[in-house]
Amino acid sequence: MFNKVKNKILLKNNIKTDEVFSILSDVSAKNIDYSDIYFQHKFYESWKLEDKIIKNGFYGVNKGIGLRAIQNEMTGFSYTDQITFSGMKKICSSVCNIFSSNILRNNKKFLQINNKSYYKSKSPLKSLSNEKKIDILNQVNYFSRNYDNRVSKVSAYLYGSYEYILVASTDGVFAVDIRPLVSLNINVLSEEKGGKREIGRKSGGIRGTYKHFFKKNKNGISYIQHLSQEASRISILNLSSKEAPSGSFPVVLGSGHPGVLLHEAVGHGLEGDFNRKNLSVYSSKMNKKVASRLCTVVDNGTKNKYRGSISIDDEGTPGKYNVLIKNGILKKYLQDKFNARLTGNISTGNGRRESYEFLPMPRMTNTYMLSGKSSVKEIIESVDYGIYAVDFTGGQVDITSGEFVFSTSEAYLIKKGKICFSIKDVTLIGSGIEIMNKISMVANDLFIDNGTGTCIKDGQEVPVCVGQPTIKINNLTVGGTK
């Protein structure tokens, strides 16, 4: 893989390896603490189906170089969309002009890092013909509409990308990665007589090729069919859903995608930049209790083929398995090189950026809670009156306070230990530390949702995964419409 990336990014653009190192040497003469150069060459495409018609097909290329230098807490950064030696020299000059002093420094020897890859380096864009890609969307339309005659509209969005990454830095890193990514998003609108309408959504993705969507489960159902029918099922279910109650109740969060609440209300608060600046509710809580002893939360960039996985992060650090909270005790913050250096730590392999046009920052990869010992049945039966939230549409969180507001896309009322009927317009309100300490049961059904999770921070988007087992929160504020 190393030679394949080097040939694609350097040799085909008439750039010598020594020229990359010479640029870093020139920047190092400015008495900086650290500098890195980031090369990216990305191919991507998208296909859109709406009203039974393929309405859009798009193909694009995004390539360039980003150069960063750090001196104490000051960062100089410049980028170009030209992968050429002259382009490198131009952004080098821009960065050097930011720093005034010069000093002779001895650079470390650059070491080629043969990092382990957690996904195959095949291009999804070349894995199927355009006709086969369009067929995926047509199958979505067919399976979604055939689920129920009340399905009135189906839209679907198919996306694939393939990118080459090369990172070199003054701490001796010289590393590469090849990152494939595919995703399929489905929206279904159902309608009853009288004009009542509801939407159902489902998505799936993987670091792999489009062939993933054609794989069948043990019942002979393809992933395309499963996602399509799930979107329709949720849409139809909500047509008959009743109004949700309001108040403070026990809440059971289902396995899988409800881990997005964990991602937002807890994960972001554990990112190193927020804690270095003392902006997080988790600041100064290292080795202190921040959750129920039943809770162990990890960020794992090494999950095979998962959307959030990274063989290296965007600073060249290999992807890692990081235990953030262990049995309720805070053990680690997510770090990039910049924030780790300023706080006397080391990078956790979480320095990520959207593209060469942006600076890296601490970001999550695949973040989830580990399984417990209870069964889902035991958890449901323990609730006399409460809410079972199976999935979410989205929400908001305040990093400083940890307070959040989340809305469900699928939820049920529990009475006397039994699931009674579906409810809609359920809003969950609370704070990260509060709910983590109120978790009284954790099931043995961990599921990591390999959907199309995209994390947005400071305007940058990166692919992630979320997950958790079914959990019981003893008490949570629920906003309903009843």
Instruction: Please give the model's pTM, rounded to 2 decimal places.
Output: 0.94
- Please report the pLDDT score of residue 109 as a whole number: 64
Query: Within the chain, which residues score under 70 in pLDDT?
Result: 102-113, 480, 482
Tokens at residue 108, please? Answer: 């470390």
Antiparallel, parallel or unpaired: β 460-463 and 297-300? unpaired
Q: Are 194 and 46 in contact (CB under 8 A)?
A: no
Could you give all domains of the chain from N- to C-terminal order, each with its CATH number?
2-239 (3.30.2290.10), 243-479 (no CATH)
Task: Name the 3-class secondary structure at 145.
Answer: helix
- Please report the pLDDT score of residue 397 as a whole number: 83
Query: Cα-flanking dihedrals φ and ψ of residue 120, to 5°?
Result: -75, 155
Query: Cα-flanking dihedrals φ and ψ of residue 247, to 5°?
Result: 145, -160
In 221-372 the beta strands, taken as DSSP E runs, fall at: 242-243, 247-253, 297-300, 321-326, 329-330, 351-352, 361-362, 366-369
What does the DSSP 8-state code read for residue 266?
I
Residue 281 CA to residue 266 CA, distance in Å, equals 9
- Please report the pLDDT score of residue 482 as a whole number: 64
- Please report the pLDDT score of residue 225 as a whole number: 97
Tokens at residue 255, please? Answer: 């396995």
Tokens at residue 74, please? Answer: 């000051």
For 37, 360, 389, the CA distances from 171, given in Å and listed in that order, are 12, 16, 47
- Please report the pLDDT score of residue 11 as a whole number: 94
What does the DSSP 8-state code read for residue 265?
I
